[in-house]
Amino acid sequence: MSRLPLRNAARTASRHRVITAVVGAVVLCGAGVGAAAGAGAFASASLPAPASALRQITGFGSNPTGLRMYLYVPHHVRPHPGVVVAMHFCTGSGPAMFAKTEFASLADRYGFIVLYPSVPRAGHCFDVSSLAATTHGQDDYTDAGTIVRMVHWVEQHLNADPHRVFATGISSGAEMTAVLLADYPDVFRAGSVMSGVPVGCFGTVAGPEACLHGTISMSPQQWGNQVRDAYPHYRGPRPPIQIWHGTADTLLYYPDFRDEVAQWTNVLGATMAHRDHPKSTWTHTVYVTKSGQVAVDAYSVAGETHQLGLDFPDWAQYAIRFFGLARGSASTP
């Protein structure tokens, strides 16, 4: 593995301290891949509580950044199951993400496995800002590399399907989701981000504050280069992404949503194909590739703050459908 250049170490460490201080100040309470969820796709009624227990896994491999690994395996698992990596917000944890989202209950219904990485260090934010974090192959230095090792452990020990691995998260977890799609497009099949920012946003010369407020002026091509530069020699297919944001978000401001859409439509070569309103405050826009495949599935929610992921917990159901995991039940694969 290549080593993080020393000339960047102090700069990136300082930047991450600023981001942790700002973002960590807010406490959140409380058909195939790329299939867009349309109006009335799911009922909003609460799902049953998870039927199985969350367990911590140790000894999953090299862990240079000290992450913890929590795993939810439902009682009824499909043969060769899919894996959803669900990542928490700043000040959160893997167990908090388990308790405050619907992914475990959906795993009971559809027979997939949920992996909850957890950041125990101060601030409890994933590192998405350092140079290493947005560089493929920096496994010896990054949260992203550690999370990929967790995924490989699940594949090897639980016979999970390496072609059905997905990432999702809220806030800091959303940012890590996007970083994973950029750094490891050969590992993750799709992602869903809730209240995040574009890849590379915190690493631009404009600085963290400009990223938080969505005031960075870059073209879609420049934003797209932030993703391509994370793995410059990669020539394979890139995963589609679902993007959620509230218009009244005053932590990661709404213009970040615009920049996320610009970034990923550029990377995936996608253009707008459809717009609808699944709920009265939701504007849902679908962007497709030249071949008609859904590449970016974007949800703008009017009047919602950074609490969006908890005010609308059924977003998890839309994410699972986008991943192609909402097919039948675990007992009828």
Report pTM: 0.88
Tokens of 47: 């799902």
Pick the closest to residue 175 from 263, 71, 81 (CA basis).
Answer: 263
Q: Which two tokens stand for residue 60?
A: 């999953």
Catalytic residue among 130, 171, 192, 300: 171
pLDDT one-digit tens code per residue, 168-224: 999 999 999 999 999 999 999 999 999 999 999 988 777 889 999 999 999 999 999
CB 67 within 8 A of CB 151: no
What pLDDT sits at residue 137?
A: 82
* DSSP character string of 155-211: HHHH---TTSEEEEEETHHHHHHHHHHHH-TTT-SEEEEES---TTGGGSTT-HHHH
DSSP SS3 for 49: coil
| Domains in the chain with CATH codes | 52-266+302-323 (3.40.50.1820)
Q: Is 171 considered catalytic here?
A: yes
Q: Are 298 and 261 in contact (CB under 8 A)?
A: yes
For the record, the structure tokens of 64 come out as 């240079």
Q: What is the pLDDT of residue 219?
A: 96
- Reported as a single tens digit per residue, the pLDDT across 26-49 is 333 334 677 665 434 444 457 899
User: Model confidence at 279, in pLDDT bands (50, 70, 90)?
Assistant: very high
Is the per-residue pLDDT at 24 higher than 60?
no
